């Protein structure tokens, strides 16, 4: 059973509904209560409209009670279905209809399921729900190769969830013609991260660790510094290497620091998932 989605057309709202098609396609089903086949068409269209989640407006016109309005459309037989876009008739079908034939007509004028998914993902990005948007965008990227809109949205999610190492090559792959204001803004964030993440203190600790790779005190201090300048992957890699040697290093502070970083990254973060599994394998 589908919730009733259709607008019931009459002389009063006809013009307003047609004007709606300037923004969203409107399908009008011409029907009569005395003809069961027209009711079936209405039910099928309601089912299809529900799937499009606001991307399609459904209106029905009862040709028995609204004969004057039906005459304006020149309807000669029922059932009849008409699709309006930009205030004008764009397509239609007369006579008995199957779900397949109705879908075939409508899909020519409506966004695909992938396009609807992209709209959903971009809305999640706009509302700062980056971890939720990322898996949807990755799935779409596999279907739409080298789509700059998708790749820029993925890069934004990666930067906002501190997955900078993956974001940089993705931004480098954006073609020149698509390097718009969003691209420039993301590149600026990436550059700021690089500058903040390469302080003299960090450079000194890196040199000390390179000279003495077994020095876990230096490794831990460097991991803390990395976490403070939003380099979580570098910090987690050092911390897991420390914990493999000593789970209770620094009175358990190494483990606590790692768990704090994982918690801050959140459940949907790919980097967090990778290192969370490694930590759990040590703990259990």
| 20-68 pLDDT tens trace | 999 999 999 999 999 999 999 999 999 999 988 788 999 999 999 999 9
Give percent above pLDDT 90 in the chain: 76
User: What is the pLDDT at residue 4?
Assistant: 53
Token pair listed for 77: 């037989």
54 Rama class: left (phi>0) / alpha (psi -120 to 50) / beta = left
Which residue shows structure tokens 């599994």?
277
User: What is the pLDDT at residue 45?
Assistant: 96
Give percent above pLDDT 70 in the chain: 99
Largest Cα–Cα separation, the chain: 90
pLDDT value at 2 more than 50: no
Question: What gap in Å lies between CA 239 and CA 15, rounded to an integer?
Answer: 66
> Is 113-196 in CATH node 1.25.40.10?
yes
The answer to whether 109 touches 82, Cβ cutoff 8 Å, is no
Question: What gap in Å lies between CA 198 and CA 212, rounded to an integer?
Answer: 20
Helix (H) or strand (E) holding 82: strand 80-85
What rounded mean pLDDT belongs to the chain?
92
Give the CA distances from residue 69 to residues 12, 17, 59, 187, in Å, rounded to whole numbers and listed in that order. Answer: 10, 13, 13, 56
The answer to whether 20 touches 56, Cβ cutoff 8 Å, is no
As a CATH number, domain 7-107 is: 3.40.30.10
Give the CA distances from residue 192 to residues 62, 185, 196, 228, 230, in Å, rounded to whole numbers and listed in that order. Answer: 62, 11, 6, 14, 11
Domain locations in the chain?
7-107, 113-196, 200-283
Q: How many helices (H) and strands (E) does the chain have?
A: 14, 5
- Crossing angle of helices 99-107 and 36-51, in 10° steps, is 50
CATH superfamily of 200-283: Tetratricopeptide repeat domain (1.25.40.10)
Domains 113-196 and 200-283 share a fold: yes
Question: What gap in Å lies between CA 51 and CA 159, rounded to an integer?
Answer: 33
Question: pLDDT tens across 115-165, in order?
Answer: 889 999 999 999 999 999 999 999 999 998 889 999 999 999 999 988 888
pLDDT value at 102 more than 80: yes
Half-sphere exposure of 29 (CA within 13 A, CB side): 30
Provide the 3-class DSSP secondary structure of residue 59.
strand
Closest CA to 5 of 75, 52, 70: 52
Question: What gap in Å lies between CA 222 and CA 201, rounded to an integer?
Answer: 9
Provide the 3-class DSSP secondary structure of residue 145.
coil
Question: What gap in Å lies between CA 206 and CA 254, rounded to an integer?
Answer: 18
Question: What gap in Å lies between CA 54 and CA 132, rounded to an integer?
Answer: 21
User: What is the pLDDT at residue 1?
Assistant: 34
Nearest 5°: phi and psi at 281?
-65, -30
């Amino acid at each position: 059973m589908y919730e009733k989605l259709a607008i019931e057309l009459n002389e009063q709202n006809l013009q307003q509904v047609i004007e709606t098609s300037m923004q969203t396609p409107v399908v009008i089903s011409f029907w009569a209560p005395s003809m069961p086949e027209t009711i079936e068409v209405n039910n099928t269209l309601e089912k299809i409209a529900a799937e499009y989640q606001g991307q399609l407006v459904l209106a029905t016109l009862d040709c028995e009670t609204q004969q004057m309005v039906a005459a304006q459309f020149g309807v000669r037989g029922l059932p009849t279905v008409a699709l309006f876009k930009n205030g004008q008739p764009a397509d239609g079908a007369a006579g008995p209809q199957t779900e397949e034939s109705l879908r075939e007509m409508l899909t020519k004028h409506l966004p695909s399921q992938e396009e609807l998914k992209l709209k959903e993902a971009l809305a999640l990005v706009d509302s700062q729900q980056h971890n939720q948007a990322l898996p949807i965008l990755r799935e779409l990227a596999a279907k739409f190769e080298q789509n700059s809109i998708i790749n820029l949205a993925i890069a934004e999610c990666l930067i906002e969830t501190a997955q900078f190492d993956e974001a940089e090559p993705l931004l480098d792959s954006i073609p020149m013609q698509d390097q718009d204001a969003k691209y420039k803004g993301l590149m600026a964030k990436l550059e700021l991260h690089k500058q903040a993440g390469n302080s003299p203190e960090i450079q000194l600790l890196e040199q000390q660790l390179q000279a003495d790779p077994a020095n876990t005190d230096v490794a831990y201090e460097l991991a803390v510094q990395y976490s403070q300048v939003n380099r979580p992957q570098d910090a987690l890699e050092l911390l897991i290497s420390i914990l493999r040697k000593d789970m209770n290093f620094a009175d358990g502070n190494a483990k606590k620091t790692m768990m704090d970083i994982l918690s801050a990254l959140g459940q949907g973060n790919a980097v967090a998932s990778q290192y969370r599994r490694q930590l759990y394998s040590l703990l259990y």
